[in-house]
Each structure stands twice: as C-alpha cells, then as structure tokens.
A and B are shown apart, each in its own frame.
Chain A
Amino acid sequence: MQTDTRVAVDQISDAAGGPVTVLRFAGDISSTSRDAVLGTYQSLSKIDHSRILLDFTKVDYLNSSGIALVIQVLLEASRSEQIVRIFGLTPHFQKVFTMVGITKYTTLYADEAMAVQSFE
C-alpha cells in the first residue's frame, strides 16, 4: 500500500529577523517516509539552517518508525550543533514523544508562534 508523506520547506524569521527553517510535514510519517523526513533534513545546509522547526500540524498518521526518523533527525542535528524544535503534535503524540524521552533532547510547542518565539 502506498503511503503519502508530503514535506515543504519554509524559511521564516523570528521577531529579531533571525532565520528559522520550517519543515512542514503532511500525511503519513512511517517507515516509508525516510526520504521525505531524513532526506529533506539532510538536503539542508548545516551552516545556513542552524535553527529548525518540525511542523506536525497536518500529519494524519504517525507510528513508531516515523518517530524513529524524528530521533534520527535530532541525533544528526545535535552532532551539527543545530537547534531543532517541534510543534503541531496532537496531545496524544505529545504524550508519546514524552514517554519515549524525546523531550529530553528537544522541546514541543503547541503552535508555530510559540515555537518561533522560543528562539528569541
């Protein structure tokens, strides 16, 4: 069965004008999303994209393999000294991310405005 992961990369600014890169995911995030999630992240220059937000607002389905891809992004970002934060998860997946310990290595925000503000 074909799964459908869509991702868009947006460049926005915080209130001080500093650049923030947003990876906006939509559809499913599962084992077949490796290129969409990890591939898109890896295609970004580490120097030009030092502050990254992962947007889950339009994600319909997320499973443990998809969460593992998020961990992989966080691992690579931490090695490159990039800051990655997350917003738009449902309350259920905020709980799941907390249960597996992801919140030890990043912060979850309810929405984009709060996530961007956290960089200021």
Chain B
Amino acid sequence: MVMTKAESVEVRLPSVLGFEKVAMGTAASAARLMGFSDDRVEDLKTAIAEACINAMEHGNRFNENLRVAVTLTLSDDALEVRVADRGTGMKKPVIAPDIDRKMHGDEPPRGLGLFLIQSLVDEVEWVAAGPDGGSYVRLVIRLKKDT
C-alpha cells in the first residue's frame, strides 16, 4: 500500500481485560496492509496487547468509565502506535525479567509485559502525564529495521 500522507486510525477501548484484542486485530490489519511480514505482525500484536493491558490495569486501574485510546499512524516506512490512559505514566525503568529469581520464588512470576513491549518493537517511548493529565506509550515498528 502506497500512502501519500500518514493515515491515522483510532480505537477507544473500555478498561476491561479482553478488549485489548480489538486493538490487536486493528493493528494487525493495518500492519498487513502496509506489508509487514507475519512474524512482525505477531510481534506487534503482543506488544500492543501488553501496552493496552498495562494502560487498563496501571493507568486506568480497571475503571470501566475510563477509556484506553489506541492511535495507529501509518506511514510509508513505519507504523506508530500510541496507547494512552488517564494514569501518571511509567515511573520505573523497564528491566529484563530474572527467570532464576522467578523460578526460585524470589520474585513474582508476573512482570513480563513491559519487557516484552520493549523487546518486540523497534522504538518505545514512555511519556508521563502533562498538566492536562493522561500518559501514553509510543511504539514504533518499522518495515525495514535499518531505516
């Protein structure tokens, strides 16, 4: 698909687990239209699912009245995804899971989502809430990894 200008698609999700699949499906359709390979589409789906779950749980605290806004921006060489919530944003750096500590019961088995997001896309930016409130994570996945 050749685009003369960047095109955007927005999906607004209730903060209810399971609705992240709507964003996954939308992003996968957009990525396939852009010509992403199947394995990159799978990377994108997992990263978006984890970003949406994080926004529902930690940003909106599962308040069903608050929405998670997912904005996809399609350009010729990349797909940018913003996942926004009403929280204050990420406060800790993302660290790789320590499987040995998890397997010895020294840390909880959970806590893999942010690492997966960071590992599966080409660029991640965590943006804290500004004066108007609301934070977001910006993910970028490129058609060619070296561009």
A residues sitting closer than 8 Å to B (CB atoms) are 1-3, 30-32, 61, 63-65, 67-69, 71-72, 74-75, 78, 90-92, 96, 99-102, 104-105
Contact = CB atoms under 8 A, between A and B. Distances in A.
Contacts of B49: 63
Given A71-B102, A96-B116, A3 B17 contact: yes
B77 interface: no
A119 B85 CA distance: 48
Given A63-B49, A75-B104, A105-B99, 13 more contacts: A1-B17, A31-B17, A63-B53, A64-B53, A64-B110, A64-B112, A64-B113, A64-B116, A90-B42, A96-B116, A99-B115, A101-B99, A101-B100
B17 A96 contact: no
B97 A65 contact: no
A29 to B, nearest CB: 12
Contacts of A30: 17-18
The secondary structure that dominates the A interface is: helix
B17 A100 contact: no
Interface residues of B, number: 30
Contacts, number: 72
B15 to A, nearest CB: 11
B109 interface: yes
A65 B110 contact: yes
B119 interface: yes
Give the most central of A3, A30, A65, A105: most B CB within 10 Å: A65
A67 B16 contact: no
A91 B99 contact: no
Interface string B10-34: 0000001111110000000000000
Contact of B43 (A32, A92, A100): A92
A96 B43 CA distance: 9
Contact of A72 (B17, B109, B119): B109
Nearest to B97: A100
Nearest to A3: B18
